[in-house]
Chains A and B, each alone.
Chain A
């Protein structure tokens, strides 16, 4: 039954392949298309790629909760096909409605051609990007399997049900992935000999090794996004022109400037800044080499974006960015948004997209970055800032950036560290108490996680007497001068605190640390 319902799409698919062959001269052979009947699933996969980089990566529970909250409020972007640029190329689509109108048919055809362009690029390119992405995909699948099996096994062998295990392993992998990618060297791996004691040890050793391998692989990946997108958008534009010439599809024209009104669903391909910029860059390359075949050869031969950008001078690129950003600001609101919306409201969103491109382009052009690892080092998701010594214990200080760890992950990290103590019977030492700086929305917060000794045996790693305190990091003079209880000040006097092992911190950050240590470590 499903086969009949999808017959129409199969026809469009074959047409799209034909179109592609006529336009480019050859067609990709190594790709998979996954069509979701449930559009929610497609949105989920799309978000997972956006957040973690690969479709099979494990999200932390906080990321899941937040994304689910966004989904409930209908905040998640829909209707974009999702392409994972590995080899084989993975193409994810939501199934269009049952009977396709001419407009929808056109959209699906263009979407497929766009995806084929990605697939062809992945097959032909000399960059390592598709191969690395394929490896990452595989590693993530293995990690997922490993986690699933271990949660299953842990629940099977133990008497008490460890319902927390799933979430814990999820968060654990999320955090270790982040730390390993950022190369935080304070990270601890249990010795090989610990393997035989518990399932948990065995799992963590396996997971940590795999994640280490994943991080090493990911760092080697060439930066290739502009070439990927540029090639796909270039072909897509050719396809649109070609399809419209055949008279098979007719679209109404706008009253004012006689421009075509494209189907709404093509917005994801025609509106966002990355498509606009990469496409004009392609056109510029074409005008340099004159011949399309030669340009394609060139594109396939580039290993990373920097080689492509270096075809032009910095002034040319700056011009390209400025001129097109300007033109885009006039064009995009009229063509893709309602007349009722204010220009400034909408443009701020696109401007944000442009700013990201500008930053990326100028950074790799200036510093000649070619691999993902170099970009990571420049702005690590998490970095170590040394430690504070309070009596005989160390409180480690980290700074996480916007896309780094979430609050929940910090707790896990923290709990993980508390396993070091005799409270919880899995030997997996990691960190001591920690303070983390992180920007959450508009607040720059410092958060302290410290564990007290518990009298009775913990039921789960989430089940420890944790002190969690948070304070805003600000430059204001009177900040951190809250009334401390007399009692607390007394205890404080006895403590011996050593701040000398901290590095690269601002004055407000230091203020926040001392506040947290004074207030937080003595709350219980």
Chain B
């Protein structure tokens, strides 16, 4: 037989252990809501914890099988051999003694948090101290893989599974949702503006200027002086004022998430949207700053990662709509920031009802015309609510007149299209007369809320 030598490349003979799937993780808004739910409530997700135990077990079983083969088939140095034997003993010990016990505890709902796991590991180490044959130090390290159990399992749109630790949930969700928004809407339309390290070029203006200077269409060339550089960007403070009253508990039509979940995730995505955006720019200061103000009894302004995490974990839909109080808190916060005049303040209010807790004492003047309107009509609306609307109108009007800052208000009302004929919409519209107009948001479309807020209020206000 003639002997021939061929060369085969790796494209022709691919590694059988290669993962083929695309590595980018795509999380849908509904999935994010699910993750949020699991994160907020460690009681849920038992099955994912059970799955985690099994996957640790099966990974270990494969490892043990291979180590045995390796000990028999591969020449080893003394240290290598020692390592393998130790690993094998530990893995076997974990597989045969520890994991069955862990599974049972997970079944019983006894291992739910990282503290539970740590406590369990410590107890275990105390118990098996006298068994001798296992290396305790190594075992303790190995047992740390049990922490995976309390991680949250997320599945992306393409079915790829990933486990994330509880601490990194917010960051991961925020980054995914924020980046998604960035992809949908860039701060300025791309066809007009080029961001460069040395400044921003507005293409349209440049083009127009070139036409004017060369007097031909299209312009023969673009001169240096045609290129328009944008003046310094203005600072913007954005306050997302989010309703957390009882009514937000309602389930959104799609996917079993509540209005609150939708609102929280929208807040998170906007928060990260500006975070990523700010990071991309080479600026001395952040162009946009977003703070979330929950509408609840004692509203606080949430503008740090830690507060945000706290808000996501603890927010509940309960009680009345303390909108006036939240708006006042936001105003106070805004007034403390940056004393210079050249600043925009954007209030974006997301609510599914009308405010119903007036604030006293109230120092702004109320609009007589609006008061007359409410006095004249025959309505079921409670007097508290009317008082609130009057107060809110007073606050907004005085903001509009305030020249110390450039105040903007946008108002999103969550509800179906049929709301347009209802008192809630008519009153709100009347209240906002001369300030802005309410924008109706379909709760079923809550996943697009972030996009809508960006488009209709913050960027093109």
Task: State yes or no: do A and B come from one complex.
Answer: yes
- The verdict on A77 contacting B73 (CB below 8 Å), with A70-B66, A468-B51 known, is yes
Cα distance A40–B58 when bound, in Å?
A: 22
Cβ-defined contact, A469 with B50, below 8 A:
yes
B73 CB contacts on chain A under 8 angstroms: 77, 79-80, 267-268, 271-272
Chain A hits for B160, CB < 8 A:
163-164, 167, 462
* Residue A505 interfacial (CB < 8 Å): no
Determine the distance from Cα of A162 to Cα of B13 in the docked complex, in whole angstroms: 24
With a CB–CB cut-off of 8 A, which chain B residues contact A468? Answer: 47-48, 50-51
Residue contact A41 to B75, C-beta cutoff 8 Å: no
A183, CB-defined interface residue at 8 Å: no
Contact among A29, A71, A76, A407 for B55, CB-based, below 8 A: A407
Neighbouring B residues of A75 by C-beta, 8 Å: 63, 66-67, 70, 84, 87
- Bound form: Cα–Cα A63–B96 in Å: 21
A453 sits at the interface (CB 8 A): no
Task: Verify if A146 is at the interface (C-beta below 8 Å from B).
Answer: no
- Find out whether the CB atom of B68 lies under 8 angstroms from the CB atom of A349: yes
* Bound Cα distance A48, B15 (Å): 10
Q: Report Cα–Cα, A65/B19, bound state, in Å.
A: 8
The reply to whether B5 and A3 form a contact with Cβ atoms under 8 Å apart is yes
Interface pair A48/B16, CB less than 8 Å apart: yes
Partner-binding segment picked from A186-194, A250-258, A335-343, A372-380? A335-343
Please indicate the chain B residues that have their CB under 8 angstroms from the CB of A63 in the complex: 62
B201 within 8 A of A: no
User: Which stretch (A308-316, A386-394, A439-447) binds chain B?
Assistant: A439-447
Cβ of B68: which chain A residues have Cβ within 8 Å of it?
349, 352-353
Known contacts A38-B10, A272-B73, A455-B254; is A463 also within 8 Å of B19 by CB?
no
* B347-383 to A contact mask, C-beta < 8 Å, 1/0: 0000000000000000000000000000000000000
Binary interface encoding of chain A residues 146-180 relative to chain B, with 1 for a CB under 8 A from any of its CBs, else 0: 00000000000000011110111000000000000
For chain A, residues 293 to 340, give those with C-beta under 8 angstroms from any C-beta of chain B.
Answer: 336-340
Q: Which of B19, B57, B71 contacts A440 (CB 8 A)?
A: B57
**Chain A CB within 8 A of B284 CB:** no
Closest-CB distance, B42 to chain A (whole angstroms): 16
Q: Is B159 an interface residue (CB 8 A)?
A: yes
Give the number of residues in B that approach A within 8 Å (Cβ atoms).
Answer: 71
* Cβ-based interface call for B76 (8 A): yes
Q: Which A residues fall within an 8 A CB radius of B?
A: 2-3, 6, 10, 29-30, 34, 38, 40-41, 44-45, 47-48, 50, 55, 59, 61-71, 73, 75-80, 161-164, 166-168, 264-265, 267-268, 271-273, 336-342, 345-346, 349-350, 352-353, 402, 406-407, 440-443, 445, 447, 455-456, 459-463, 467-472, 474, 479, 482, 520, 523
List 6 extra interface pairs beyond A66-B59, A346-B71, A482-B107, CB under 8 A.
A64-B19, A264-B75, A340-B78, A341-B85, A442-B57, A462-B155
28 contacts between A and B (CB under 8 A): A10-B5, A40-B15, A41-B10, A59-B17, A64-B19, A67-B62, A67-B66, A73-B87, A75-B63, A75-B84, A76-B66, A78-B74, A80-B73, A338-B81, A345-B89, A346-B81, A346-B85, A349-B71, A350-B72, A407-B51, A441-B57, A441-B64, A442-B97, A459-B159, A462-B160, A469-B46, A470-B47, A470-B53
Closest 7 CB pairs of A and B: A462-B159, A442-B96, A441-B95, A338-B78, A264-B75, A66-B62, A470-B50
Binding site for A on B (CB under 8 A): 1, 5, 7-8, 10, 13, 15-22, 28, 30, 46-48, 50-51, 53-55, 57-64, 66-78, 81-82, 84-85, 87-89, 92, 95-97, 99-100, 103-104, 107-108, 155, 157-161, 254-256
